[in-house]
Amino acid sequence: MQVLYKSTRGKGETVTASMAILKGLSEDGGLFVPTSIPKLDVPVEKLAQMTYQETAYEVMSRFLTDFTEEELKNCIVNAYDEKFDTTEIAPLHEADGAYYLELFHGSTIAFKDMALSILPHLMTTAARKNQVKNDIVILTATSGDTGKAALAGFADVPGTRIIVFYPKHGVSPIQEKQMVTQKGANTAVVGITGNFDDAQTAVKKMFNDKELAAELNEAGFQFSSANSINIGRLVPQIVYYVYAYAKLVKKGAIKAGDEINVVVPTGNFGNILAAFYAKQMGLPIHKLICASNENKVLFDFFRTGTYDRKRDFILTTSPSMDILISSNLERLIYRLTGENAEKCAELMQALSQGGEYTITDEMKAGLADFYGNYCSEAETKEAIHETFEKADYVIDPHTAVAAGVYKKYVKDTDDTLPTVIASTASPYKFTRSVMAAISNKGEGLDDFALADELTKISGVKIPRAVEEIRTAPVLHDRVVDAPDMPAAVKDILGIH
Ligand SMILES: *Cc1c(COP(=O)(O)O)cnc(C)c1O
């Protein structure tokens, strides 16, 4: 059955999956959603015998119906290869009464790799399918992590260029080192003298600059965006929930058809929305447990029905969840309105203009699949400590927020169904916070010395991604002022 995509704010016009991937965002500002959620029509017993790549094909082919089998299989093979440090791609680790689904075995040791390693291949395939002859130029402004994951995904993918801008004095030394050592003839990393907002604003301006687009087109290029609202990032994230479920069946931890819970440390609401789609496909998920840090907009929303971003932005030890506007929530809101694009657009407008919106009681009843809670900074630290003490397993602060919230959930509900916790980053990505929670030996050490100490304490090998940047040469040293970003782009692409 063909699945098409329509905008959460549109008039019902549809596009193919490949067009939705190429466009990223709909012209009316809405997000693309499937016209219907396909059923998972493969028996679990069969899924249980499949590799990650085979599972990916079964799930993704149901959503990306205008891709041929050969096209999609090529994308999958090129994405989930030796870039991952385990053939399982997303292993399950049982610890302290839960199953940790480790989504951090890719190039940048965090879960964004799961989607960003396949997005470039989906995009170039989509371009070919739609007779786009231009090379795709990915422009990204980053405050740290997404930039590196996008660089790693797009590096040396034929038909693409990637240019990442970051605030020269606004990222951590490790984050900067990760980016400026990026290999790949099609990659460029540029520091800017302003802050992240300056970079972001200038990138958005370039996307909307018709004159620049014409100049690029003349030279055989066109811009695209790799940000997290692209349907090409969402669909690959559904895969690992199906994979985890099938692996639990294979292990004998559950029987086919048994329900599980899923806990997701949440920021932009992409990862948990993928789990929601997996449930809609028919995967037996009982509760979708949404874990927030102290930026607990979502917790408040689930409780009260009011989404209110008018509050202080709190810097936490789980920075990838420091978000006050969870963009992907719009896709859920759209469903809750009964797929009423006008109503959805109204609510989103209220959010951007007045900073808040409130859903009706009827819509709120539709949230029954979800449970929301949050962890304070102290609770997050305690969760890292406790998981290490009890289970000899070291988790990163994002995963710890989920672990802490799961404890609260069990206490609140007495529900002890088998539970999968999405583990979104390697502890080696946040070594300082992790060490502070489990040992007093970290004080005064630099980041690499901390990693050496952590490997001694935990027995977990230092990931290749960390080892590599210890000695890697700096390959990118361009720094510009924000107003000069378009000139830098043209120079990088050889347009004069
Ligand atoms: C991006 C990210 C998250 C949040 O995921 P969303 O899909 O934005 O909700 C959680 N943990 C880590 C480590 C991340 O990088």
Among candidate residues 213, 206, 224, the one with its CA nearest the CA of residue 18 = 224
Structure confidence at residue 27 (pLDDT):
87
Q: Which atom of ligand 1 is nearest to the CA of 265?
A: 10
Name the pTM for this structure: 0.95
Pocket of ligand 1 (CB under 6 A): 110-112, 145, 228, 265-271, 320-321, 398, 424-425
pLDDT of 314-373, one tens digit each?
Answer: 989 998 898 888 999 999 999 999 999 999 999 999 999 999 999 999 999 999 999 999
* Minimum mean pLDDT range among 155-159, 187-191, 201-205, 229-233: 201-205
Q: Could you report how far apart the first and last alpha carbons of the chain are, in Å?
A: 47
Closest residue CA from atom 8 of ligand 1? 268
Q: How far is the CA of 267 from the centre of ligand 1 (A)?
A: 5
Read off the tokens for 477: 């040293």
Cβ pair 233, 270 in contact under 8 A: yes
Closest residue CA from atom 1 of ligand 1? 320
112 is catalytic: yes
Structure confidence at residue 208 (pLDDT):
84
Closest residue CA from atom 15 of ligand 1? 320
CA distances to 153, 301, 397, 412, 430 from 318, rounded to whole Å, are 23, 20, 5, 24, 9
pLDDT of 229-288, one tens digit each?
Answer: 899 999 999 999 999 999 999 999 999 999 999 999 999 999 999 999 999 999 999 999
Structure confidence at residue 169 (pLDDT):
86
pLDDT above 80 for 466: yes
Which helix (H) or strand (E) element contains residue 302?
Answer: helix 297-304
Number of neighbours of residue 453 by Cβ within 10 angstroms: 16
Query: Ligand 1, residues 268, 277, 332, 370: which to mutate, most atoms within 8 A of Cβ?
Result: 268
Among candidate residues 33, 5, 141, 85, the one with its CA nearest the CA of residue 428 = 85
pLDDT above 80 for 144: no
pLDDT of 34-79, one tens digit each?
Answer: 999 999 999 999 999 999 999 999 999 999 999 999 999 999 999 9
Q: Which domains does the chain have, with CATH numbers?
A: 92-108+232-463 (3.40.50.1100)
Catalytic residue among 6, 23, 83, 112: 112
Coil, strand or helix: which one is 81?
A: coil
The letter for the amino acid at 12 is: G
Structure confidence at residue 488 (pLDDT):
97
Q: Which atom of ligand 1 is nearest to the CA of 398?
A: 11
Task: For residue 143, name the pLDDT band (cuts at 50, 70, 90).
Answer: confident
Number of neighbours of residue 353 by Cβ within 10 angstroms: 9
Q: How far is the CA of 399 from the centre of ligand 1 (A)?
A: 10
- Report, in this order, helix, strand and coil percent for the chain, each rounded to 5: 50, 15, 35
Closest residue CA from atom 2 of ligand 1? 320
